[in-house]
Amino acid sequence: MSLISDLFGKSPFGPLVEHSKTVHECVELIQPLLEALIREDYEEIHFLQDKISELEYQADCIKHEVREQLSKRYFMPVDKIELERFVRRQDKVADMVQDFAVILMIRNTKLHPSLHDQFFAFINQIFQVTGLLLNAAVEFQNLAEVSFSGAEARVVLSLLQGIGEEEWKADRLARTLSKSIYKLEGEEETLNIIFYEKMLLALGNIANQAENAGDILRTILVQQ
């Protein structure tokens, strides 16, 4: 039994999905952060940043668990290196959320009212990207039971294609929002405009990292 256990080991796909869920919990705190900024509730921003830091730590622990299980398995239905790349890339999504929270925390800045709706729209679009990534990760676990083929594989590939489409929409919103930010020159303090642009870049990186993680899953599937 020990030899079989050494050869096949414990499946890493369950922890992989747990990692995806924990990362998505981080993403779900972006909107409360923006709401706190608009209320100028900087104490709440500090609280949410601490919560994100805790979730990021949990994600790191799960990431190490996945790596440990991968190292113990001699036989895997997919490329172990690619699977580790996926977990590492997905981990960067949580890192980018943390970066966004830190940006809000380091300076008590008022967000110009004309930008409120656009930032919320941008965040909602980021949710579309990361939500599809979570769904794809869950379905990817199910694919392990059917040898990564058939109709189930096509469903996951469709989800992964959707990630790219939704990230493209996020890019368009980001460009529009960036133009709105720089239209405030002369009306807003220069430091505030720099702050808004930092917010925008951090949020954009979340969507970019999610798309990159999805691309790795797609690579794994097409190699089967």
Chain centroid to Cα 98, Å, comes to 11
pLDDT in tens, 35-78: 999 999 999 999 999 999 999 999 999 988 888 877 665 455 66
Residue 44, amino acid: E
**41 burial type by CB count under 10 A (0-12 exposed, 13-18 middle, 19+ buried):** middle
pLDDT in tens, 138-190: 888 777 665 655 667 778 888 888 999 999 999 999 999 999 999 999 999 99
Q: How far apart are CA 214 and CA 14, in angstroms?
A: 18
Phi-psi region of 12 (alpha: psi -120 to 50; beta: other; left: phi over 0): alpha
**180 burial type by CB count under 10 A (0-12 exposed, 13-18 middle, 19+ buried):** middle
Q: How far apart are CA 25 and CA 55, in angstroms?
A: 7
- Confidence (pLDDT) at 147: 61
Chain centroid to Cα 39, Å, comes to 25
pTM of the model: 0.88
* Exposure letters 185-214 (e unless 16+ CB within 10 A, then b): eeebeeebbebbebbbbbbbbbbbbbbbbb
CATH numeric code, 2-222: 1.20.58.220
Q: How far apart are CA 218 and CA 8, in angstroms?
A: 24
